[in-house]
């Protein structure tokens, strides 16, 4: 091999090494730029820069972190389906159990937010069965509690938090105990107005009693005076209408009051609870 050819080979390898070094430095700069945009909450531009990095990073060095931060950026923009897609890609590119667990939890949190409760509980149950995450059981139970909160099952939520988060467990238990029993409200309304009184709707309860007494009296009086047709018409068209309406109103009031209590509890958790939230 001539001296000139040796020189050319040497220059070639130097050039390749330089290009590789420059590429890695360029990728690192690109990643730091995208991450800076993410930290500044400039999520749209962060997504663009991360996707550009993924396109050129054939070695996949930044695949996990880039996909994860793209997913979290989409989450901030409430584009939950896109967020889950990229967080799933992050999970596929995870190199440690910690990275895999974190990706799965982020997907679960998004399912909690968009109220696909069965899906989030199914994923949490899969995590509980995975021996790799036995040391993360408290965290799994924590997000199980949040899934039950968004499913409006405060009793199960309290049980999920029990043993590792007494504050949330006690809060969920108090919310559950404060609910009206919808079945009881309807059952009490067999006596007109009692279901409304149970839910604190005293005016509605008094009106219900009044109408039922009036139409009941008129129906009985019509039968006593042998006005059978009037008795049937008043009883079926008026008295039954108000009696049935009394049952439905009691049930509706209980459901409405419970919804108000749920929304109040969620507002408290959103604005006042200091801790991890979906």
pLDDT tens readout for residues 141-150: 999 999 999 9
What pTM does this model have?
0.74
Give whole-number Cα distances, 173 to 168, 223, 249, in Å: 8, 52, 27
Cα dihedral across residues 18, 19, 22, 23: positive or negative: negative
Quick one: pLDDT at residue 239?
53
The confidence score (pLDDT) of residue 108 equals: 94
**DSSP symbol at 234:** I
At 182 the pLDDT is 73
Q: Which value, to the nearest 10 degrees, does the dihedral of the CA atoms of residues 183, 154, 202, 208 take?
A: -30
User: How many C-beta atoms lie closer than 10 Å to residue 94's C-beta?
Assistant: 19
The pLDDT of residue 88 is 93
Spans of the chain, pLDDT less than 50 = 6, 8-22, 230-231
- Distance between CA atoms of 249 and 66, rounded to whole angstroms? 54
Could you tell me how many helices (H) and strands (E) the chain has, helices first?
14, 0
Q: In the prediction, which pLDDT does 278 show?
A: 87
pLDDT for 115: 87
């Amino acid at each position: 091999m001539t001296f000139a050819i040796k020189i050319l080979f040497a220059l070639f390898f130097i050039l390749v090494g330089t290009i590789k070094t420059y590429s890695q430095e360029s990728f690192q700069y690109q990643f730091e730029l995208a991450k800076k945009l993410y930290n500044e909450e400039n999520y749209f531009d962060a997504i663009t820069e991360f996707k550009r990095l993924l396109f050129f990073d054939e070695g996949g060095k930044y695949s996990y972190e880039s996909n994860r931060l793209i997913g979290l950026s989409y989450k901030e923009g409430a584009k939950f389906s896109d967020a889950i897609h990229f967080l799933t890609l992050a999970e596929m590119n995870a190199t440690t159990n910690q990275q895999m667990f974190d990706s799965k939890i982020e997907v679960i949190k998004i399912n909690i937010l968009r109220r696909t409760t069965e899906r989030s509980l199914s994923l949490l149950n899969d995590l509980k069965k995975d021996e790799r995450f036995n040391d993360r059981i408290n965290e799994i139970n924590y997000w199980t509690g949040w899934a039950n909160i968004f499913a409006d099952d405060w009793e199960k939520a309290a049980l999920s938090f029990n043993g590792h988060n007494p504050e949330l467990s006690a809060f969920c238990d108090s919310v559950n105990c404060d609910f009206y029993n919808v079945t009881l409200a309807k059952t009490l309304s067999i006596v007109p107005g009692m279901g409304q009184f149970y839910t604190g709707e005293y005016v509605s309860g008094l009106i219900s009693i009044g109408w039922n007494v009036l139409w009941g009296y008129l129906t009985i009086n019509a039968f006593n005076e042998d006005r059978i047709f009037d008795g049937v018409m008043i009883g079926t068209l008026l008295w039954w209408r108000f009696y049935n309406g009394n049952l439905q109103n009691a049930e509706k009031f209980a459901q409405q009051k419970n919804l108000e209590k749920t929304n109040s509890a969620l507002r408290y958790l959103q604005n006042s609870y200091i801790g991890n939230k979906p």
